[in-house]
Chains A and B, each alone.
Chain A
């Protein structure tokens, strides 16, 4: 029997010359990506894991056994009932936004498994597709049990099939990033920027917080997924190296575009969880500190390694670290019935901690929370709509998120006219991304356009029920019904 080293390299690097069809027909630029290079130029593409299928199956089996053992030990409803209330809502946020995005990533990987320009790339992508199936199935399986306890967990599966505004934003991102990108853009955007650049926030930062609050199930899930991500993310660097060598401006463009889009997603999903939904006594660092430690420095080092520049909007991004997720959280808190998870109102201790961590932005944000708290003081506990916005909220025509960029002193939104239609953007980078490829984005209607076109109801409650797919039982509320020990109600 041949030893591993005697057959593996031959099996991994099995490319051949075509005799009755052209390379360009086998690997069309629409699917494989540009710049289109002859196969010889891709011959030195490689990744360090070099996993065989047999090894893959053995490793995944062992990981699944470990995961199921933890689920059997601590994955019951009564185990989740012990978790802090804020944290269980961080879980609902992740449970909805991630699993079916992972399923879309199956498609991106399968495209690379067919149209990647080197056999080693295609083999790794095939295993990547299997990884992403697993990352879809694990949270669906684990969270399904919890629906009996709290029907907001039903959004784990329901979310991407709804017209909820967050789902529209998430689909806008996932469809482009994972479903429609060619193999080169997928590798640069998903494997390099998203997975290599940002997922440490989840796998290191959030995993550590999960451990702190005693959520062994979520911690184990993240750990199990992280080892898969670490392997298939390796498709990014060699592809980016080839792209930077042959088409540096396109490499820079793809990095700049996907860094911004990835940042916005993580700012909401991870930023909310770290700075608001994790109990104060379990917080280790702020979201900004995690970003600086696990994303910013490493990303800049990676860019330098490839001789590429930091994004042109870098100063805007650094400013956003102080403002963006706070502005979205405060906005979303006051429109919480429009989403499927509950929010925590930061009290004096939390606000003091945030003031310490965000001295540049917190004074203005604190005034907002004072105002919201005063509203709760005048309202009965549980009367969420007494402390809720009613005006229609517009959305960015690129990211489809609310217009929360810039600062409270100067919101960064701007409008442009394109082909007879007016578009609004939350930020200069979102506007820039649109302007690079307007044909890619122009036809998409944000929620306001849908309302104005009569496709969605203008009345808020009708919008929530009939269009966003929410009902009283599952729409977001204050996690404590506005009933906090520090909040003294006004005598009436």
Chain B
């Protein structure tokens, strides 16, 4: 498992998200939204941003090359 710092737009704090390398970007975004849902209600699909780049939701984390304790952001797709 890869521990990551996740920030959902609209939330008041960052959360530690444990992700698997074979997870998709969409699954990672969903996991963060679930972890933050007590404070932030999301309705539509999320986009995940890593190093200033919006990621392909179908890509696997191992393809992205995101490492332990790196930051990612998520927000509702426009």
A: which residues have CB within 8 A of B?
A: 326-328, 330-331, 334, 364-365, 367-368, 371-372, 375, 387-394, 402-404, 408-411, 413-415, 422, 424, 448, 452
Please indicate the chain A residues that have their CB under 8 angstroms from the CB of B9 in the complex: 408-410
Contact B12 A404 (CB under 8 A): yes
Contact A403 B5 (CB under 8 A): yes
- In the complex the two chains form, what is the Cα distance from A327 to B7 in whole Å? 13
Quick one: which of B16, B39, B71 contacts A368, CB cutoff 8 A?
Answer: B39
B: which residues have CB within 8 A of A?
A: 3, 5, 7, 9-18, 35-41, 68-71, 73
Chain A nearest CB from B15 CB (Å) reads: 5
**Minimum CB distance partner of B73 in chain A:** A411
Please indicate the chain B residues that have their CB under 8 angstroms from the CB of A414 in the complex: 71
Please indicate the chain B residues that have their CB under 8 angstroms from the CB of A408 in the complex: 9-12
Interface class of chain A by DSSP: mixed
Contact A452 B3 (CB under 8 A): yes
**Minimum CB distance partner of B32 in chain A:** A391
**Minimum CB distance partner of A335 in chain B:** B13
Please indicate the chain A residues that have their CB under 8 angstroms from the CB of B35 in the complex: 389-391
Contact A411 B14 (CB under 8 A): yes
Please indicate the chain A residues that have their CB under 8 angstroms from the CB of B17 in the complex: 391
Contact B3 A448 (CB under 8 A): yes
- In the complex the two chains form, what is the Cα distance from A283 to B10 in whole Å? 28
Contact A394 B5 (CB under 8 A): yes
Contact A393 B16 (CB under 8 A): yes
Known contacts A368-B10, A403-B13, A424-B69, then 5 further A-B pairs from the complex at CB < 8 Å, ordered by chain A residue: A365-B12, A392-B15, A392-B16, A404-B12, A422-B68
Contact A415 B13 (CB under 8 A): no
Contact A415 B11 (CB under 8 A): no
- In the complex the two chains form, what is the Cα distance from A371 to B40 in whole Å? 7
15 A-B pairs (CB sep. < 8 Å)? A330-B12, A331-B12, A331-B13, A334-B39, A368-B12, A393-B13, A394-B16, A408-B10, A409-B9, A411-B73, A413-B7, A424-B5, A424-B14, A424-B71, A452-B3
Please indicate the chain A residues that have their CB under 8 angstroms from the CB of B68 in the complex: 422
Please indicate the chain A residues that have their CB under 8 angstroms from the CB of B13 in the complex: 327-328, 331, 393, 402-404, 411
**Minimum CB distance partner of B3 in chain A:** A452
Please indicate the chain B residues that have their CB under 8 angstroms from the CB of A422 in the complex: 68-70
- In the complex the two chains form, what is the Cα distance from A98 to B46 in whole Å? 43
- In the complex the two chains form, what is the Cα distance from A395 to B6 in whole Å? 12
**Minimum CB distance partner of A369 in chain B:** B39
- In the complex the two chains form, what is the Cα distance from A368 to B37 in whole Å? 10
Contact B15 A411 (CB under 8 A): no
**Minimum CB distance partner of B41 in chain A:** A371
Contact B38 A375 (CB under 8 A): yes
Quick one: which of B15, B36, B38, B40 contacts A387, CB cutoff 8 A?
Answer: B38
- In the complex the two chains form, what is the Cα distance from A409 to B68 in whole Å? 24
Please indicate the chain B residues that have their CB under 8 angstroms from the CB of A411 in the complex: 7, 11, 13-14, 73
- In the complex the two chains form, what is the Cα distance from A410 to B69 in whole Å? 18
Chain A nearest CB from B13 CB (Å) reads: 4
Please indicate the chain A residues that have their CB under 8 angstroms from the CB of B12 in the complex: 326-328, 330-331, 365, 368, 404, 408
The residue among B13, B38, B71, B73 with the most chain A CB atoms within 10 A of its own CB is B13
- In the complex the two chains form, what is the Cα distance from A392 to B69 in whole Å? 13
Please indicate the chain B residues that have their CB under 8 angstroms from the CB of A448 in the complex: 3, 16
**Minimum CB distance partner of B36 in chain A:** A391
Chain A nearest CB from B14 CB (Å) reads: 4
Quick one: which of A327, A389, A410 contacts B38, CB cutoff 8 A?
Answer: A389
Please indicate the chain B residues that have their CB under 8 angstroms from the CB of A409 in the complex: 9-10
Contact A330 B39 (CB under 8 A): yes
Quick one: which of B7, B10, B70 contacts A367, CB cutoff 8 A?
Answer: B10
With A422-B68, A424-B69 as given contacts, are A371 and B38 in contact (CB-CB < 8 Å)? Answer: yes
With A371-B38, A391-B35, A393-B16 as given contacts, are A413 and B71 in contact (CB-CB < 8 Å)? Answer: yes
With A415-B71, A422-B69, A452-B3 as given contacts, are A334 and B38 in contact (CB-CB < 8 Å)? Answer: yes
- In the complex the two chains form, what is the Cα distance from A155 to B3 in whole Å? 32
- In the complex the two chains form, what is the Cα distance from A413 to B15 in whole Å? 11
- In the complex the two chains form, what is the Cα distance from A408 to B14 in whole Å? 10
Please indicate the chain B residues that have their CB under 8 angstroms from the CB of A402 in the complex: 13-14
Chain B nearest CB from A343 CB (Å) reads: 13
- In the complex the two chains form, what is the Cα distance from A371 to B37 in whole Å? 8
Please indicate the chain B residues that have their CB under 8 angstroms from the CB of A334 in the complex: 38-39
